[in-house]
Structure 1
Amino acid sequence: MEERVEVKQTTIKRINGYLHRIIPIADTSGKIINYAIKPLMVEFKPRDIIQVVIGSSLLAIPVSLTEEAWNLGTTLPNVNIILIALLSMLLISIFVFFNFYRNNFKGFKFSFLKRTIGTYLISLIVVSVILTIIEKCPWSTDHILAIKRIIIVAFPASLSGTLSDMIK
């Protein structure tokens, strides 16, 4: 029976427009007998943006329809709203780092920032559109309240958008 050993000399190549890690598989003598190809999900492509939009909508819609979220925007101090926004960004960046960039961070720092910030901004836009449509963003009378409500609802929406981005 032939034993297979994974050789650690991996390379990164673009296949059909997407980056892949090519991992040589060797037998016990060290002779390469095959290659394993794994997608390297470090680029933030249009497909990923669409996944974030859909994923953000999954939780943005039900949460934005709750009166509790609207009232939190009215009652929470601005400092708490800023902390919610920072917590959202922290959780997104931790999840993105450990699921996409942990082994590839050095060469893809800008892509990491783009994916993290892009995911949060897309979630904010999705939430603002939904809250504006249901007339819970009082842009003309109280834009601070509108922004506070958006940030509150974007907290769960951004996390569901981040999770859906991982599906390939």
Structure 2
Amino acid sequence: MEDQKIFTKRIGGYLHKMVPITDASGKLLHYVTKPLMVELKPRDIMQIIIGSTILALPVTYTEEAWKLGEELPLLNVGLLSLISLTFIALFVYFNFYRFNIKGHLFNYIKRVLATYLISILVVAVLLTIIQRCPWQEDSLLAIKRIVIVSFPASMSATISDVIK
């Protein structure tokens, strides 16, 4: 009886988990490949950009988000940012790294931070284009508005990153 083990192999530039399929006697029949989505590739970055834009656009154009930036205390905005990062970290962990965190911790942290920072960048560009980020007059207000709108944008970026 052969002792077949699960291993990782790069196919077409992407990591795959190779799971051996054996018959009753233990003879190897074939391998089932399952993509391991533990590396952040340019395709993933594009998905994050598009995904964050999906919810950033409608929220960016709402006056309620602009006023919330004016009224919400800085502590609450900071907590909103922390909640965003927590949700992203949990979702990414359970969808990509739960069984593959060993040896991929750096990639996990990189994916979480990239998702949030790209979402912030997309929102900052959109709010600046529509002139709702008063960088010269009140940069703190601009940052608060960006963080507020980045919450839903980062959630949709995280969801779109799962789609392969």
Compute the TM-score of the two structures, normalised by the length of structure 1: 0.95
The residue that corresponds to 2:105 in the other structure is 109
CA displacement at 1:106 relative to structure 2: 1.3
The residue that corresponds to 1:70 in the other structure is 66
Distance 2:111 2:50 in 1: 16
The residue that corresponds to 2:6 in the other structure is 10
The residue that corresponds to 2:49 in the other structure is 53
The residue that corresponds to 2:25 in the other structure is 29
SS in 2 for 1:13: strand
Measured against aligned partners, the alpha-carbon deviations of 1:127-150 in whole angstroms (never above 9, x if no partner) come to 000000000000010000000000
Measured against aligned partners, the alpha-carbon deviations of 1:45-98 in whole angstroms (never above 9, x if no partner) come to 100000000000000000000011001100000000000000000000000000
Q: How does 1:12-161 map to 2 (within 5 A)?
A: 12-161=8-157
SS in 2 for 1:87: helix
Structure 2: which amino acid aligns with 1:74?
Answer: E
Runs of 5+ unmatched residues, structure 2? none
Distance 2:146 2:116 in 1: 11
Structure 2: which amino acid aligns with 1:94?
Answer: L
Measured against aligned partners, the alpha-carbon deviations of 1:96-120 in whole angstroms (never above 9, x if no partner) come to 0000000010110000000000000
Give % identity: 58
Aligned residues: 162
CA displacement at 1:8 relative to structure 2: 7.1
Structure 2: which amino acid aligns with 1:28?
Answer: A
Distance 1:110 1:8 in 2: 29
CA displacement at 1:15 relative to structure 2: 0.7
Superposition RMSD on alpha carbons, in Å?
A: 0.9
Distance 1:89 1:9 in 2: 36
Distance 2:67 2:27 in 1: 66
